[in-house]
Amino acid sequence: MTPVAELANSLKHAESSLARVVQIWDATNLSACEECLVLLEEIAGHLRAAQPAAGMLSSRAPAGALNHLNGLRDDVRLIGRLVDSAIAFHRGLTIGTSETELVLTEITG
């Protein structure tokens, strides 16, 4: 696979997974947060796979591809912080209740 095709493929997969994260994200739902975490790890793998191709193409990459890669990284960092915070909140609730079972904190309404 050529570096251009490798970069495009990695960006496509990362973008698709990121769209899924945005679709399922719900800070009040621990299982959704955990699913987002798995998807974010998958996205990180796609971005790592794109890095060598981006490095080889640094001066001749398709217009906007490197900016798109950097934008995806920024989005993943931001959403990663939100997911991490929500999971920490849920864990804090569990510890605060002194119970061995997870507390159901999903808000319905």
Average confidence (pLDDT) over 88-104: 64
CA 54 to each of CA 3, 35, 76: distance values in angstroms, whole numbers, following the listed order: 8, 28, 18
The Cβ of residue 91 has, within 10 Å, a number of other Cβ atoms equal to 13
Beta-sheet strands, E only, within the chain: none
- What is the rounded average pLDDT for all residues in the chain? 82
Q: Output DSSP code: residue 101.
A: S
Backbone angles phi, psi at 57, to 5 degrees: -100, 10
**pLDDT reading at 96 higher than 50:** yes
The pLDDT-based confidence of 61 (bands split at 50, 70, 90) is low
**pLDDT reading at 102 higher than 90:** no
Instruction: Give the pLDDT of residue 8.
Output: 85
Average confidence (pLDDT) over 67-79: 91
Domain boundaries, the chain: 3-97
